[in-house]
Structure 1
Amino acid sequence: MLRKEECITLFSNLQQISPQEEAEAEAYFETEFEKERLEFLSDQLTCNKETAVWAAKILYHSAQLYLIRENTEKNIENLIPGFKGIRDVSSILSADLSLRFLPQVIVALNSIDPEDPLIPLLESILVQFHYSGIGYDLGLKNVNWQEELKDKTYRKLYLERIVEKKDYKLAEIPFINKLITAEFGIHKDAFWRELKTITEDHNENV
Structure 2
Amino acid sequence: MPYHFYNTISQLRQNEELVLYDRVLHFSEEDEQLVKDFLKIEYETESLNYPFTPPSCNAAAALWGAKTVYTACQLILYRENKEAELPLLLPVYNNEMDAAAILSADLCLRFLPQALQQTKNIDPDDALIAVLENHLQQWHYSGIGYVLNAATVNFDTVFANECMQQLYIDRVIQKKDMQRAMLPLLQKKITAAMGIYSATFWKELNSDKTHE
TM-score normalised by length of structure 1:
0.89
The one-character-per-residue Cα deviations of 1:6-55 (angstroms, maximum 9, x if unpaired) are 21222452342110011111111110111111001444511100110011
Change (3 A) 1:97 1:147: closer
Match of residue 4 from structure 2: none
CA contact (8 A) 2:72 2:115 kept: yes
Kindly state the Cα deviation for residue 96 of structure 1 after the two structures are TM-superposed: 0.3
Matched, 1:28 2:28: no
The correspondence for 1:118, drawn from 117, 128, 146, is 128
Partners of 1:100 and 1:38 lie apart in 2 by 18
Counterparts of residues 50-199 of structure 1 (less than 5 Å): 50-145=60-155, 148-196=158-206, 198=209
Kindly state the Cα deviation for residue 145 of structure 1 after the two structures are TM-superposed: 3.9
CA contact (8 A) 1:174 1:198 kept: no
- Secondary structure, in 3 states, of the residue corresponding to 1:17? coil
Partners of 1:92 and 1:150 lie apart in 2 by 12
Change (3 A) 1:70 1:198: same
Change (3 A) 1:147 1:83: closer
Identity %: 39
The one-character-per-residue Cα deviations of 1:56-78 (angstroms, maximum 9, x if unpaired) are 00100100111111244453233
Count the aligned residue pairs. 201
The correspondence for 2:55, drawn from 27, 45, 49, is 45
The correspondence for 1:7, drawn from 17, 23, 26, is 17
CA RMSD of aligned residues (A): 2.1
Runs of at least 5 residues in structure 2 that lack an aligned partner in the other structure: 1-10
CA contact (8 A) 2:65 2:108 kept: yes
Name the stretch that deviates more: 115-124 or 65-74.
65-74
CA contact (8 A) 2:113 2:143 kept: yes
Kindly state the Cα deviation for residue 140 of structure 1 after the two structures are TM-superposed: 2.2
Runs of at least 5 residues in structure 1 that lack an aligned partner in the other structure: 202-206
TM-score normalised by length of structure 2:
0.87
Kindly state the Cα deviation for residue 194 of structure 1 after the two structures are TM-superposed: 2.3
**Larger fraction in helix:** 2
